Each structure stands twice: as structure tokens, then as C-alpha cells.
């Protein structure tokens, strides 16, 4: 899908006029989105299976700023360049559904989506293994702590039994 927009320049006063001079109002910007409304695209479904969806809405966020020379304190005045395409599928809802980012969560071909499915499944399995390992390590620490606490209580019990025996012997000797 080809989109032509007139460039709108938003600027402030004084030193910000430099930014306004860099971009001239009325220039045309042309964006070519990878997908258009009505196109079929592919998303990662449950159990990492590619699912075909119909594009219902296209959202393009484009940032291209030269920044303000000499201004290094605030990051929003530094040079910035970004282009992001997001899509909404009819099947997941337009306006209130999920936003899919091209190349991350929505793909032009089933083959690209299959590769992403495999990567996500592998990553998920690795995360499960890491969680299991972490759980086992935590359990080991808990067992170690329990053994330390048990040893402490056993030692205390032994000391109390000795003390009680001494008191009984002392009491028996006085009677």
C-alpha cells in the first residue's frame, strides 16, 4: 500500500526554528507499507502454528528528526529516526484488538511465520527449562536451610535434655 502525506512541521520558538527549517511544510512523504487492508497475513497461533488473518487496519509511525544542534541534555532533542508498521486483524478486532508489528508478530508469508513459530517455541521451551532449574536450585536452598534449622533445634534439644537431667539430679540430691 502506498501512502502519500503532506509533511506537517510542528515547531516552537527561538532555537527550535532550526528544526522547522530542516523540514519544509508541504513536502510529500511517501510510505510503502508491506500489507494493506484486505491482505492475508500470518500470525503465530496457539501451540506455535501459523494462522492466516485478514488485515483490517494499518498504523505507521514514522519519526525522522535531525535533532537540535548543541542540545545533548534531553534525549527528545537528539537526532531520531524510526519507522514502525503495526496492523490490526479483522479476526482479533479492529480498534480494540491486538496490534501486530511487522516482522515480529505478523508476517507476509506463511514460511516467515513458520520460522517465527519455531523460534518462539524454542525460546518457550528454553524458558521452561530455566524456570525448572531455578525451581530446583530454590528447593535445594530450602532443603539446606531446613537442615540447618533442624540441626539447630536438635542441638538445642540436646542441651535442654542435659540441663533437665542436671536439675533432676540436683533435686534428687537435695531430698
Distance (Å) of CA 172 to CA 158, 160, 162, 169, 175: 21, 18, 15, 5, 5
Model confidence, pTM: 0.58
Instruction: Give the residue ranges of DSSP H helices in the chain.
Output: 17-22, 110-174
C-alpha cell recorded at residue 5: 502525506
The pLDDT value recorded for residue 165 is 93
Q: Is 89 helix (H, G, I), strand (E, B) or coil?
A: strand
Domain tally, the chain: 1
Residue 51 lies in a domain: yes
Question: At 9, is the pLDDT very low, low, confident or very high (cuts 50, 70, 90)?
Answer: very low
Where in the sequence is the domain holding 26, given as residue range(s)?
A: 2-108
Of 138 and 19, more confident: 138
Give me the count of residues in the chain: 175
The answer to whether residue 173 sits within a structural domain is no
Evaluate whether residue 122 is within a structural domain: no
- Furthest C-alpha separation in the chain: 112
Long-range own/partner contacts, residues 66-73 (CB < 8 A, 24 or more apart): 66/19, 66/22, 67/19, 68/15, 68/16, 68/18, 68/19, 69/18, 71/15
Residue 137 inside a domain? The answer is no
pLDDT, average across residues 48-59? 92
What separation in angstroms does the CA of 131 have from each of 20, 47, 122, 126, 160?
52, 19, 14, 9, 43
Is 99 contained in some domain?
yes
- 141 falls within a domain: no
Whether 20 is in a domain gets the answer: yes
Per residue in 104-118, pLDDT (tens digit) is 999 999 999 999 999
48 in any annotated domain? yes
Identify the residue with better confidence: 136 or 78. Answer: 136
Amino acid at each position: 500500500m502506498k501512502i502519500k502525506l503532506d509533511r506537517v512541521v510542528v515547531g516552537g520558538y527561538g532555537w527550535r526554528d532550526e528544526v522547522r527549517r530542516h523540514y519544509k511544510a508541504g513536502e510529500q512523504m511517501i510510505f510503502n507499507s508491506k500489507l494493506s487492508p484486505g491482505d492475508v497475513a500470518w500470525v503465530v497461533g496457539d501451540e506455535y502454528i501459523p494462522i492466516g488473518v485478514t488485515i483490517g487496519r494499518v498504523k505507521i509511525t514514522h519519526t525522522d528528526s535531525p535533532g537540535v544542534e548543541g542540545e545533548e541534555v534531553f534525549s527528545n532533542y537528539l537526532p531520531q529516526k524510526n519507522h514502525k508498521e503495526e496492523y490490526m486483524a479483522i479476526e482479533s478486532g479492529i480498534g480494540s484488538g491486538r496490534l501486530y508489528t511487522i516482522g515480529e508478530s505478523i508476517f507476509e508469508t506463511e514460511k516467515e511465520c513458520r520460522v517465527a513459530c519455531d523460534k518462539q517455541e524454542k525460546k518457550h521451551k528454553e524458558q521452561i527449562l530455566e524456570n525448572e532449574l531455578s525451581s530446583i536450585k530454590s528447593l535445594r536452598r530450602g532443603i539446606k536451610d531446613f537442615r540447618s534449622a533442624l540441626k539447630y533445634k536438635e542441638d538445642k534439644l540436646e542441651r535442654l535434655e542435659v540441663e533437665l537431667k542436671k536439675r533432676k539430679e540436683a533435686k534428687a540430691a537435695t531430698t
